[in-house]
Structure 1
Amino acid sequence: MDLALLPNESFGPIDTGNTAFMLVSAALVLLMTPGLAFFYGGLARGKSVLNMMMMSFGSLATISVVYVLWGFSMSFSDGITGENDILGIFANPFALFGSDQLMSTIGEGDSEQYVTGGLSIPAIVFMGFQLTFAVITVALISGALAERVKFSTWMVFTVLWSTIVYFPLSHMVWGGLVGGGGLLGAGEDGLAAKMFGTDDEGAAVVAPIDFAGGTVVHINAGIAALVLVLIIGKRVGFGRTAYRPHNIPFVMLGAALLWFGWFGFNVGSELGADLLAGQVWVNTTAATAAAIIGWLIVELIRDKHATSVGAASGIVAGLVAITPACGALTPVGSLILGLIAGALAAVAIGLKNKFGYDDSLDVVGVHLVAGLWGTLAIGLLGKDVGLLWGGDYKQLVVQAVIAFFALAFTAVLTAIIAFALKPLGWRVSDEDEKSGIDEAEHAETAYELA
């Protein structure tokens, strides 16, 4: 489609300050993936650290390519081209295939305006920002599969899962950001509008809130991780072997990089430098700090020690929980949310031993549990909308609907993908797993002993 034929309302004026802000935010979010590589690499055993880090960098490579080609088009093209999406689930993957059209301009008076889809930043900048979200979401899943999965199968999985699961869910929740709509969004065709009606402008009276990715990123990655570990199976020696982090300074470094990059993740999701962006920054910091305390309190009660790995994990749990809620809570509400998130995740990571599933690096306990809590907590603690903060039950109901829809959607499709890839072979051999997946898969070792 020739974008220049669209009505001028589809093209907004460019704000250079906001554009610069978004470019920096995108760079910060991109930094999260190397940060995750350090975090996961440190948590893994020494014979698996390179493979663990490579799974993150491999995700960065494959997802960047497919997002430029068809990922952005599947997620957001209807809001820019004006085409209808498909059942509110995904947009046309070929409408903006290759993203070349995002460089188009349209004459408006004496100036040239870049295509923006109604935003104050060029659409290609928005695309770059969203690309980094797709990358980190897929990389998060890898922690659950540590030390036993073929790298080649993982790389194929990243392409299939992002296309079949991530891009559609991104559209369903966020497609309305650039004028389109999605099944889990605030538009008149979304589930929330059908539940509680629409206002005079056709938007849901009680709109779902996922400011920066509680459902799209964390619930999505967490439930996918759980499904995969149940299908792929446990590591050799699970239940008999003590799996200890091999490099705790790597874990701390990774957590620090994640926290730093997360400001781009959350604050950048405001899509501009304004008052709400400042509120999001403060809420992100408050929740994360409180989550560290919550996690360490549980450790002190349960284990009699407050550990550095616990502090680093608390950082991630707090960041996960505040992600969907950072624009909807007050600073005090964020402190409450973070404190509970840290405690919940610290308790949840022990469930894998009780229930017998091998979530190697606690993706389920941290991302799924804290992501669910953060999404639902908006309905309890959200300013003026939360049941405990001036609102009523309706926001909580809407949050629960989008959260559990995302759970079911991702679980079913991830299971189909996992079974479809079984002919390729998910697992390395038991011998390779015992001797070290780094040597077997990459012909390298992290530490050469003279």
Structure 2
Amino acid sequence: MDFKPRTMENLTGWRQPRGEASLSDVHGSIAIRTSGPGWRRAISFVGPGYLVAVGYMDPGNWATSLAGGSKFGYALLTVALVSNIMAIVLQALCARLAIGSGRDLAQACRDAYGKPVAYVLWFMAEIAIVATDIAEVIGTAIGLNLIFGIPLEIGVLITALDVFLILYLQKLGFRWVEALIITLLGVIAACFAVQIALADPDWGGVIRGFAPTTEIVTNPEMLYLALGILGATVMPHNLYLHSGIVQTRAYGDTVPEKRQALKYATIDSTVALMFALLINAAILILAAATFNKAGQTDIVEIGQAHSLLAPLLGLAIAPTLFGIALICCGINSTVTATLAGQIVMEGFLHIKLPPWLRRLITRAIAIIPAAGVTIWYGDSGTAKLLILTQVVLSLQLSFAVFPLVMFTANKAKMGALVAPRYLTAFAMLIAIVIALLNIKLLFDFVLA
């Protein structure tokens, strides 16, 4: 597909020019409507938000939600809600950064800081992506094992095929990648709708679960799971991903065009993340309504949850739906994590390689340690490892959130699309809360 990358506003707040556009092989490749009803123009921007939403319901999130729901019932639903509000604000800032500055978050870090700081941030981002991929690879492999009996080691290797899937779909057009993701999200939603109907949860308890409680902070075990849910919801790689893929739209160079693009991109991500909240809440509600209600408060393994669903719900189809949803989540998550890995590597290191080689390298960086861990641990200990990866993601989050908030608040860097002060203040509060919660987690871990 032939297209010309957009030109950039002459912004003076950066230490160096941007260089090659983010995801240059698909940058500005999707035409948008410039006239007609607003809803038709909004449809042109539908897609990136759902790729981002995938990261908010990945298999790592399943482990934390299953553990939280089985042990504490509906109490941690409030964490899922607060995490989702944080995600909506931060992802809106990602779209603002991309559209206002013409850079993804990785490029912005490289262009704003010196090489030593940029390399540290790159290393932190790679750790986050490796942790993400470990969760996604293990989750997909577990799903394949549960449904088809495929050994975990073989399942891990099968997940590597997503590289070729992305290459094929992007050759057809980035809209095909988005279509695959949205289709699989629909399957996931349908699977959980049936399971929730079978579980018949206490809806009064569900509503009370969304109310905040001080026990989450005072109970170290609950805080650990809460931070795991936070890490599984507001994920570092999603900030890099969104700031790159939103630029696949050919929204134009003028300030009015950019403002319109920001409006519709924000609507897209907000609606998609509300959908992600429904899925996340469904996982926790399912665990609370089945395992916690039956006194099974120590569910920590996805495979264990799968095997118990049939006797608890009384229907053999329940575990099958659970496994199908898990595989769909895993496929979706590995696709988006691979794209995020490409954005991080290209943005921070400014490398220029053929698309297939870039994706192969970024996938290998993540899947090799993931494969090693999966083969080493086997069936046992995978759930604890999944929860640990989500806590690692939470600890890495500040290294992406603080730069994002500072960049979007800088008029010299953002021009006319600089974030309003109220939005910056709210985002900074979110960043500080995340940092303080992480400090509390480390403090409890050291004393334990």
Tell which has more relative contact order, 1 or 2 (C-alpha 8 A, sep 6+). Answer: 2
Whose helix fraction is larger, Structure 1's or Structure 2's?
A: 2
Normalised to the residue count of structure 1, the TM-score between the two structures is 0.30
